[in-house]
Amino acid sequence: MVLARILFALAVVCALTLFQNRADAGLFNPESFTLDNGMQVVVIPDHRAPVVVHMVWYKVGAADEPPGKSGIAHFLEHLMFKGTDNIPPGEFSKIVAANGGRDNAFTSQDYTAYFQTIARDRLELVMRMESDRMVNLKFGEKDMLTERDVVLSERRQRTDSTPQGQFGEQVQAALYLAHPYGIPIIGWEEEIKALGLQDALDFYGTFYAPNNAILVVAGDITAEELRPLAEKYYGVIPANPAVKQRDLPHEPPHRAARRLSHSDPRVAEASWQRMYVADSANWGDPERMVGLQLLSDILGAGSTSRLSRELVVGQKLAVNAGAWYSGVSRGPGSFGIYATPARDVDLQALESAIDAEIVRIVREGVTETELERAKTGLLADAVYMRDSLFSGARIFGSAMVSGVSVEQIESWPDRVRAATAEDVRKAAEAVFRAERSVTATLTPKEQS
């Protein structure tokens, strides 16, 4: 154990030294340009291997769905693999695999993204295929019915089959008063069942266009090499003048804390969690994002965090405890705290101990030792992320869709270094407001 910790410390020091030596060059050293039709392009050169990650990010997600049509963004993601006049239905992924690559897609509240990891000399192939389905997708009633059943099955497997999945969905819905972030990305079951062919066609025709997309390519290529390919395949697609990213509904002021509790015989052990509406890149004060990230690390990241030291090791009230923060979004961010009580520990006693830690950090702030440890971890993470082509591409895509600029992404390490203990305390003071919270407990049936 001691040797492992020494090796880890040395790795962090080496990584940070590398980062300092390359600080002037930036974090990922991206190159960017915009096509005449409005499509943004970002290139992240990395010539260690003849491989590239090709990603197309559409600035539309579950938060943009029309009322009563929840799940349509994710549903369309499935239909995007049905084919075009040039690619038979179901052949897209087979072609990628036959050329030694892999592909997939994912939907969030803010975006829908499609990607391929492929050899550099096969990049043009996937660009031709991806640009083709941007505007030439073909699907009919039979395709729609088949994929709708697939989505419903996915919802049953991931959400409805577990009490944790069902309850988590309720907690998310309770956190927001009016904002669509309270609606599950996969959609409500009854609304998924009602989705039709025209709903998918309308959503596709409205949002899938080059001027509503970002192309991110990471790997063995430069912007100079990519530009002619981007112009050849994406640049020839006309912009859709009707495209306009939807203004998300306003979230009204929160005036009362919410509490949820549920019991289920399938639950093996009780759990406690609390979520707060938090500042984000586009909601509240974006300048608090660094402080909130450091706060989540100090409060609940790993065995050296406050919650772990106090609740797990010290008071032995919990078997685990932690915190997290999510703030790269078009709407409100969220800050979460969670814990699993130790055997025979009352949930109220656990909650009281967590509240005491929250009060302490708001009143007294954090120590310089805690701050430096958290900074070291975040800066090391920034260095290690450069080892993955996919991580870099995903960071840029998700951040830019949320309105974060390339320059802001590159300056993240500098902003982390500049943060002070008072910044973290002020972030805690701002986020830990009871009226913006939902506290939830999930227990076995006999504890209800």
Model pLDDT for residues 269-295, shown as the tens digit of each residue: 999 999 999 999 999 999 999 999 999
Whether residue 370 lies inside any domain: the answer is yes
Lowest mean pLDDT among 92-106, 206-220, 225-239, 387-401: 387-401
Q: Please, which residues bridge with residue 335 across strands? A: 276, 325
Q: Both 146 and 287 in a single domain?
A: no
Q: Both 37 and 165 in a single domain?
A: yes
CB 294 within 8 A of CB 245: no
Alpha helices in 80-140 (DSSP H): 92-98, 123-135
Q: Both 418 and 316 in a single domain?
A: yes
Q: Please determine, for residue 118, whether its predicted confidence score (pLDDT) is greater than 80.
A: yes
CATH of the domain at 61: 3.30.830.10
Residues carrying an active site annotation: 77
Whether residue 21 lies inside any domain: the answer is no
Q: Both 205 and 295 in a single domain?
A: no
pLDDT value for 447: 53
Q: Both 221 and 313 in a single domain?
A: no
Whether residue 96 lies inside any domain: the answer is yes
Q: Both 136 and 274 in a single domain?
A: no
Question: How many domains is the chain built from?
Answer: 2
Whether residue 272 lies inside any domain: the answer is yes
Whether residue 381 lies inside any domain: the answer is yes
Q: Both 270 and 387 in a single domain?
A: yes
Q: Both 83 and 221 in a single domain?
A: yes
Q: Please determine, for residue 11, whether its predicted confidence score (pLDDT) is greater than 70.
A: no
Q: What is the CA radius of gyration of the chain?
A: 23
Identify residue 348 by its one-letter amino acid code.
Answer: Q
Nearest to 296 by CA among 340, 260, 338: 338
CB neighbour class for 326 (10 Å; exposed up to 12, middle 13-18, buried from 19): middle
What is the distance between the alpha carbons of residues 118 and 97, in angstroms, rounded to a whole number?
9
Q: Which two tokens stand for residue 257?
A: 């804390």
Q: Both 180 and 297 in a single domain?
A: no
Q: Both 414 and 293 in a single domain?
A: yes
Q: Both 191 and 122 in a single domain?
A: yes
Tell me the residue range of the domain where 174 lies: 29-233
H or E element in which residue 14 lies = helix 2-21
CB neighbour class for 395 (10 Å; exposed up to 12, middle 13-18, buried from 19): buried
Q: Both 275 and 192 in a single domain?
A: no
Identify residue 448 by its one-letter amino acid code.
Answer: S
pLDDT band of 30, cuts 50, 70, 90: very high
